[in-house]
A and B are shown apart, each in its own frame.
Chain A
Amino acid sequence: KNQVEQSPQSLIILEGKNCTLQCNYTVSPFSNLRWYKQDTGRGPVSLTIMTFSENTKSNGRYTATLDADTKQSSLHITASQLSDSASYICVVSMLELANDMRFGAGTRLTVKP
Chain B
Amino acid sequence: DVKVTQSSRYLVKRTGEKVFLECVQDMDHENMFWYRQDPGLGLRLIYFSYDVKMKEKGDIPEGYSVSREKKERFSLILESASTNQTSMYLCASSFVYRLRETQYFGPGTRLLVL
A interface residues (Cβ-Cβ under 8 A, vs B): 2, 4, 9, 32, 34, 41-46, 49, 51, 89, 93, 96-99, 101-106
- Say if the beta carbon of B64 comes within 8 Å of chain A: no
Chain A residues within 8 Å of B99, by CB: 93, 96-98
- Interface pair B4/A102, CB less than 8 Å apart: no
- Interface pair A51/B45, CB less than 8 Å apart: no
| Interchain CA distance A41-B105 in the complex, whole Å | 12
Ordered by A's residue number, 16 sampled pairs between the chains whose C-beta atoms are within 8 Å are A4-B42, A9-B40, A41-B9, A42-B107, A43-B91, A43-B107, A43-B108, A46-B103, A49-B102, A96-B99, A98-B50, A98-B56, A99-B58, A102-B42, A105-B41, A105-B42
Chain A residues within 8 Å of B42, by CB: 2, 4, 89, 102-106
| Interchain CA distance A34-B101 in the complex, whole Å | 10
User: Could you say which of A2, A42, A96 contacts B108, with CB atoms under 8 Å apart?
Assistant: A42
